[in-house]
Amino acid sequence: MKRGIETKCIYGDGAKFDGDKTGSISFPIYQTATFAHPEVGQSTGFDYSRMQNPTRQQLEQVVASLENGVDALAFSSGMAAMTALMELFHPGDHIITDADLYGGSIRLFRSISQKNGITFSHIDCTKEDAESYIQENTKAILIETPTNPMMNVIDIRSMAEIAKRHGLLFIVDNTFLSPYFQKPLTLGADIVLHSGTKFLGGHNDTLAGFLVTGSKELSEKFRYIFKTVGSGLAPFDSWLILRGIKTLPIRMERSQENAQAIVAFLQGERRVRRVCYPGIPGTRSYEICKRQASGFGSMITFEVESKEMALHILKNTKLIPFAESLGGVETLLTYPITQTHADVPADVLQKNGITDRILRLSVGIETKEDLIQDLKQAMDSFEASH
């Protein structure tokens, strides 16, 4: 019988590590840099922790099973995973990406990857035809959906078809919905990327990143890059993410429920101009999201009346911290224009509609009435002082 996702979050696909005979329920932390060999030419399967480590391997097994992949590799951060991914490409290669991406990814492409001879077309996959941007040297299409921070939903299946028709790799950053709500490999993606710092870890206590693939050939290439560049996740951090993933389903459900209540509040708020959330019926994003995901997640972007009001809210919430990051049990408010998207060129910001009135909310699992009350008091105090 196939395992349910809640079971997989705790045990993965059931592949057992047989090195521990104590019966420990919590997977042990193998805090070791290296491993003894029985004799020349023999290995326990573990040689050196840059290459293999049992705690990291257990985590990779769980994440691969959640995404229905054949292999997952755990990196020291989401950006470390993205950097390793770029090592698949060569000078002269061209990649098509959606323009509305995590700011750190855009910075990596525009500075480091471009310097290494890789070129990019940053397009709006919800409005433009990606196929018309394909050149002779195009090697991949890379998207994030829902997009960051504007929460537009891109049709994964139709992008996968375009990639397949032209023999391109199709890469999806699945950080925002997590495998609990969306499994891009089952919709035609070749590679899934995660910032494990976010929903997978779920507690804002450590960084991690993943590359997951359904292809043996890509897995071998990634394993080679992984052991060579040396950005694998440390044993203790692997353990923290393993522990976090055990509660992924109940965190995703509760934070989505809270997000839906906050969306309803923001939509009824006269001081809010626009609410971006994939779970708003009647929108294009809603229809696509319903076809390819089992939930809408807990990320909300909203626009208020003025920059002054946005700054006031950031300074005056009493419960919700003003902080970068997302996907944890703590609700966080982010100001994309000076935080996550600070290094994104002005033309891209404008193209994506990221203004100084835009706030991003990552909704956690607190009592929803407390969150709504906190946002409301911050807006009220702005009005009282202006």
Residues labelled catalytic: 50, 102, 173, 198
By CB under 6 A, residue 148 contacts ligand PLP: yes
Cα 221 from Cα 88, distance rounded (Å): 8
Task: Name the burial class of residue 62, with classes exposed (0-12), middle (13-18) and buried (19+) by CB atoms within 10 angstroms of its CB.
Answer: buried
Instruction: Closer to ligand PLP by CB, 197 or 292: give it.
Output: 197
Q: How far apart are CA 167 and CA 144, in angstroms?
A: 20
CB of 383 to ligand PLP, least distance (A): 32
Number of residues that bind ligand PLP (CB under 6 A): 15
Q: What does the per-residue mask of binding to ligand PLP show for 202-241, with x meaning CB under 6 A?
A: -----x-x--------------------------------
Determine if residue 148 is left, alpha or beta; phi over 0 gives left, psi from -120 to 50 gives alpha, anything else beta: beta
Stretch in the footprint of ligand PLP (CB under 6 A) among 37-45, 73-81, 127-135, 150-158: 73-81
* Complete DSSP assignment for 155-223: -HHHHHHHHHHTT-EEEEE-TTTHHHH--GGGGT-SEEEEETTTTTT-SSS---EEEEES-HHHHHHHH
Alpha helices (H) in 268-301, listed in sequence order: 284-292
CB of 67 to ligand PLP, least distance (A): 15
Closest CA to 326 of 360, 302, 372: 360
Evaluate whether 287 touches 306 at the Cβ level (below 8 Å).
no
CB of 208 or CB of 272, closer to ligand PLP = 208
> Among residues 49 and 148, whose Cβ is nearest to ligand PLP?
148
The 10 Å Cβ neighbour count of residue 51 is 15
Per CB under 6 A, 301 contacts ligand PLP: no
Which residue, 203, 362, 201, 225, is CA-closest to 211? Answer: 225
Q: Interface with ligand PLP includes 79 (CB under 6 A)?
A: yes
Question: Which one of residues 65, 175, 285, 301 is an interface residue with ligand PLP (CB under 6 A)?
Answer: 175
Nearer to ligand PLP, 300 or 379 (CB): 300
* Minimum CB distance to ligand PLP, residue 158 (Å): 21
Q: Which helix (H) or strand (E) segment is 98 a member of?
A: strand 94-98
Q: Nearest distance from residue 44's CB to ligand PLP, in Å?
A: 31
Distance between CA atoms of 38 and 42, rounded to whole angstroms?
6
173 counts as binding ligand PLP under rule CB under 6 A: yes
Does position 181 bind ligand PLP by CB under 6 A? no
Interface residue with ligand PLP, options 58, 77, 147, 292 (CB under 6 A): 77
83 contacts ligand PLP (rule: CB under 6 A): no
Look at the block and give the residue holding tokens 């097994």. Answer: 61
100 counts as binding ligand PLP under rule CB under 6 A: no
List residues binding ligand PLP (CB under 6 A).
77-79, 102, 104-105, 144, 148, 173, 175, 195, 197-198, 207, 209
